[in-house]
Structure 1
Amino acid sequence: MYALEMRGITKEFPGVRALDNVTFQVRKGEIHALLGENGAGKSTLMKVLSGVYPAGTFTGEIIVDGRPRQFRSVKDAEEAGIAIIHQEFALVKSMTVGENIFLGREPTRSGVIDWDRVYTEASRWLAEVGLDNVNPRARIEDLGVGQQQLVEIAKALSKRMEILVLDEPTAALTESETETLLQLLQDLRSRGVTCIYISHKLEEVFRIADRITVLRDGRTVGTWDARELDEDRVIAHMVGRELSQRFPPRKSAPGPVVLAIRNFSVRAPDNPARLVVENVNLEVRAGEILGIAGLMGAGRTELVSSLFGGYGIAEGEIWFEGRKITIRNPRDAIRHGIGFVTEDRKRSGLVLKMDVKKNMTLARLDRVVRWGFLDTDEEIRQTGRYVEELRIRTPSLETPVSNLSGGNQQKVVLAKWLLAQPKVLILDEPTRGIDVGAKYEIYEIMNALAERGVAIIMISSELQEILGMSDRIVVMHEGRITGQFQREEATQELIMACATGRVRV
């Protein structure tokens, strides 16, 4: 018997059919992976399931435990035992763990909230997810991201949820936090909890999933037992074609040094006595892709953010095209020809409520302003060119970027910096949360930029990406460079050895 069946689900938005007769069946007590490119319809399908898109706004049937259901709200779905844990946690950071777990359904005694019971029961649910050591009276803001993820799951379990949907649950987790989460999901499966797992990390999918369903362009491609597939076959189903190579080939021909930093250190803004980057020396050449590898907390993001003038107190020298320069803020960096694609596009790369063209021109408004006024014709001409060049899928230039898929949002961020015509482009986790097809397109854009002579600095936590795209690789550990390699000599083992503190400079 299926715990969940979704039959013939069709959902339309103005001018777009997001779901087209989708069928999705999940067995009781299994971990079922739902895969597809960004824009394939995964999130829309889950919003239909969770009541975000209520009955009447779509066609088709939802059947839970053999009973047809119509969800008119998120509450209706929760009452049927369905909970979704999104990438952006639905926790109130300033409240305690216990308050969050029972928010809106606090146990009472004589009409007054029974706080002793709140925290006693919260402790029990925290133990269920392996957080025995977390005080239920601790504030959410004081917990790590991995612990917050587990609190979300504890909250869902406390509501007696039988179907748990996890959307990119490990996107912001460390390796150890990811390990804890995957082990918990396997434990929940053994207890009969049904899990729907949405992820672009195929290694995780094949580790825990019993079955896999692939969506493409709003349609169901098929459902298979996980053991019947491998990564290459899944990718082929997702993109509709075979990807013979994960990384596009290119010839490397680095030119002169564009950017160099000497004895560069960065002090934490909240604690100037602490060095988060210490005595770093590196350079990047025109037409070169320099990969920076390291574990979480190695200081990679702090290094490039301070180089862009947006983090901490920097010490040392910055040389740009042979001249020593000073960068006090991002405006200085942009003026010198440095662009920065941040790791969190939604928080610091885009203004989600603004449309595509306005996001693209944010970094260099001067290119579309004439005599102090916005030249709308020039704005449309320039942004339209990049929409076409980068193959950005958007209904129009006036579409809010919040309506685009993750891959297309990332292309808008890239277009913003292409319009600024940088000489150095910093990319921090450029393909995080993006499907394999969109990744390949981002890699092609990077190669095209390098061929035009742009110097690229790329931070990535994916070793295959570092090895597949970099001409030269620098490894950081605890704020210092512990290894430097040419592309040909680098291996995953060497990089990991340096990332854990074994110096090889």
Structure 2
Amino acid sequence: MSDTEPIIEMKNISVEFPGVKALQNVDFRLLPGEVHALMGENGAGKSTLIKALTGVNTLASGKIYMSGTEVNFDGTASAQAAGVSTVYQEVNLLTNLSIGENVMLGHEVRGPLGINWKKTNQEARTALAAMDLGHLDPRAPLSSISIALQQLVAISRAMVVKCKVLILDEPTSSLDDNEVAQLFKVIDGLRKQGVAILFVSHFLDQVYEISDRMTVLRNGKLVGEYLTADLPRVELISKMIGKDMGALREAEHRPASTIPSDRGTPKMKVLGLGRKGMLKATDLDLYAGDIVGFAGLLGSGRTELAKLIYGADKPTEGSIAIDGTDSKLSSPAVSLSKHIAYSTENRRDEGIIGDLTVRENIIIALQAIRGWTRPIPRKEQDALCERYIKELGIRPADPERMVKNLSGGNQQKVLLARWLATNPEVLLLDEPTRGIDIGAKAEIMEIIKQLAADGMAIVFISSELSEVARLSNRILVLKDRAPLETIEDTSDTTVDSIVNIIAGGGEAA
């Protein structure tokens, strides 16, 4: 590795929350004039490390050095004062102010009568020009420019304070290809000025295009630091998901699909469905009895596609046909009325309602379909709960227990029961086995197989590629929010063959 003195060095960093060791003895260093990618799957500790560096999270152990001197930031303001600035995925700007006011916020040029707006806007124009944004009028409203330009304005604001370290947290998540190219031009210019840039992204192509080195985290622990040019993509993915490529050839084979080759009309046909900045045009055929897996790393577009199908997000292109008839799924309510249900990956915040009972959680979607002026009779509620508590094995079998007091696996079963109570014909399951124990995972996967055997069409999304390979009849592989390939025959599909497709950008060798 380089002999250059790190501008940031974090040694033996540990961060703990109640019952959770978020980071364990992690080392990290950042050199001047480099772009350093911080890599890892969801929950790996990337955000925790950034917050530890910027003083948001308190260290349980470890020390942070800046240019060789120990520092103890007590928040983002003190970190920024020392030259460490962060630009987050969600642009933290004020759309009711002008571009110049946002750039110079807190650093306005002052005179004897207060803020000198003429000189302030001149300074803002200079800062914008340094970001190749000299064409922007500092007096124009921030709301008048695109999200991509707002990202660059946020970077301009960071550079006003002469930052030495720039942290970019998912800066390209809402940008198209041309906008990404513009951002990378700015990043390259900052790198040449000696600014150290910490770059967080789930887009592998972008990471390999812009970064000089990378640090990989997994489950709150350091996997290693690598020169980007020396770490092939397949090896990076292996390190991120925690499996050696040889070990990935575990028993992931499954029998060939028993679904007839002549399946007739798809239950759902998705043609060119996409949304600008979110997901490129994607096709999908989903038949009754199908289990179609969406495979890809975090940020690949799995959830984005599911939400577009369900109507939770609005597509800008493409169409959906149900049983051969074009259907406009303009909202989740419309989808539910057409017997399409979606179980979110965010069980805690978007799924279960912790302060309601098991019974109330199970019947709430069905009640929404019928309308709140037509309450479901208590006898029908009890019958539904008794059925799904028994069929799904929800424990304890008490419909009046607060759902927040159940285990994660049983909460997931309650969420599944909620959507089954709506009698769906298409069920989109986003990370239904995340954060639950092995026994509960096995039970839920058996339930999914039985639902498909009974004729339900299922989309199965999981960050555990082994689960996708084992359970799916077909697999849609995505990368960087675009479809790569559909594996039609999964009888010989293994985790490493999926990884090879992702790493290679297409069909595995």
Q: Give the TM bin, normalised by the shorter chain.
A: 0.5 to 0.7
Aligned to 2:52: 48
What SS does structure 2 have at the residue aligned with 1:61?
A: strand
Which segment is superposed worse, 156-165 or 208-217? 208-217
CA distance in 1, matches of 2:321, 2:23: 51
2:265 to 252, 257, 265: 257
CA distance in 2, matches of 1:64, 1:190: 20
Aligned to 2:111: 109
Task: Quote the offset at 1:385 in angstroms.
Answer: 6.4
Aligned to 1:224: 226
**What is the letter of the counterpart of residue 422 of structure 1?**
P
CA distance in 1, matches of 2:133, 2:337: 48
Contact 1:214 1:238 in 2 (8 A): yes
Task: Quote the offset at 1:27 in angstroms.
Answer: 1.4
Aligned to 1:468: 485
Contact 2:477 2:485 in 1 (8 A): no
CA distance in 1, matches of 2:390, 2:128: 49
Mapping 1:295-306, distance limit 5 Å: none
Aligned to 1:129: 131
Cα–Cα, structure 1 residues 183 and 318, in superposed 2: closer, same or farther, change >3 Å?
closer
CA distance in 1, matches of 2:117, 2:312: 46
Contact 1:350 1:359 in 2 (8 A): no
Which segment is superposed worse, 78-87 or 248-257? 248-257
Cα–Cα, structure 1 residues 92 and 249, in superposed 2: closer, same or farther, change >3 Å?
farther
Query: Which consecutive unaligned segments of at least 5 residues does structure 1 have?
Result: 266-280, 293-300, 389-395, 405-409, 435-440, 473-490, 494-505
Mapping 1:206-285, distance limit 5 Å: 206-242=208-244, 244=248, 251=256, 253=259, 255-257=263-265, 259=267, 284-285=286-287
Aligned to 2:39: 35
CA distance in 2, matches of 1:141, 1:359: 44
**What is the letter of the counterpart of residue 183 of structure 1?**
K
Aligned to 2:378: 371
Aligned to 2:7: 3
What SS does structure 1 have at the residue aligned with 2:7?
A: strand
TM-score with structure 2 setting the length: 0.65
Identity %: 31
Give a deviation string over 1:148-171, Cα, whole Å, max 9, x none.
111111111111111011112212
Aligned to 2:102: 100
Aligned to 2:24: 20
CA distance in 2, matches of 1:87, 1:12: 24
Mapping 1:33-182, distance limit 5 Å: 33-54=37-58, 57-182=59-184
Give a deviation string over 1:339-395, Cα, whole Å, max 9, x none.
2579xx88x9954996599999879526798829998x969x96996999xxxxxxx
Cα–Cα, structure 1 residues 163 and 451, in superposed 2: closer, same or farther, change >3 Å?
farther
Give a deviation string over 1:481-500, Cα, whole Å, max 9, x none.
xxxxxxxxxx999xxxxxxx
Question: What is the RMSD of the two structures over their aligned residues, measured on CA atoms?
Answer: 5.4
CA distance in 2, matches of 1:360, 1:3: 56
Cα–Cα, structure 1 residues 182 and 303, in superposed 2: closer, same or farther, change >3 Å?
same
CA distance in 1, matches of 2:455, 2:240: 33
Give a deviation string over 1:184-222, Cα, whole Å, max 9, x none.
212211110100111222222222221111111211111
Query: Which consecutive unaligned segments of at least 5 residues does structure 2 have?
Result: 274-282, 295-303, 368-375, 396-401, 435-440, 461-475, 490-503
Contact 2:7 2:68 in 1 (8 A): yes
CA distance in 2, matches of 1:387, 1:189: 55
**What is the letter of the counterpart of residue 51 of structure 2?**
K
Mapping 1:306-317, distance limit 5 Å: 308=311
Contact 1:289 1:470 in 2 (8 A): no
Cα–Cα, structure 1 residues 67 and 457, in superposed 2: closer, same or farther, change >3 Å?
same
CA distance in 2, matches of 1:423, 1:336: 8
Task: Quote the offset at 1:285 in angstroms.
Answer: 2.7
Task: Quote the offset at 1:143 in angstroms.
Answer: 2.0
**What is the letter of the counterpart of residue 118 of structure 1?**
T
CA distance in 2, matches of 1:411, 1:144: 42
CA distance in 1, matches of 2:45, 2:428: 31
Cα–Cα, structure 1 residues 11 and 262, in superposed 2: closer, same or farther, change >3 Å?
closer
CA distance in 2, matches of 1:98, 1:112: 17
CA distance in 2, matches of 1:302, 1:424: 14
Which segment is superposed worse, 227-236 or 250-259? 250-259
Cα–Cα, structure 1 residues 155 and 412, in superposed 2: closer, same or farther, change >3 Å?
farther
CA distance in 2, matches of 1:258, 1:356: 40
Cα–Cα, structure 1 residues 416 and 180, in superposed 2: closer, same or farther, change >3 Å?
farther
What SS does structure 2 have at the residue aligned with 1:195?
A: strand
Cα–Cα, structure 1 residues 17 and 260, in superposed 2: closer, same or farther, change >3 Å?
closer
Aligned to 1:498: none
**What is the letter of the counterpart of residue 33 of structure 1?**
A
Cα–Cα, structure 1 residues 323 and 36, in superposed 2: closer, same or farther, change >3 Å?
closer
Aligned to 1:488: none
What SS does structure 2 have at the residue aligned with 1:7?
A: strand
Task: Quote the offset at 1:424 in angstroms.
Answer: 2.2
CA distance in 1, matches of 2:241, 2:118: 53
Aligned to 1:193: 195
Give a deviation string over 1:126-151, Cα, whole Å, max 9, x none.
22222233222232333222111111
2:205 to 203, 217, 221: 203
Task: Quote the offset at 1:318 in angstroms.
Answer: 6.6
Contact 2:108 2:115 in 1 (8 A): yes
How many residue pairs match? The answer is: 417
What SS does structure 2 have at the residue aligned with 1:466?
A: strand
Aligned to 1:437: none
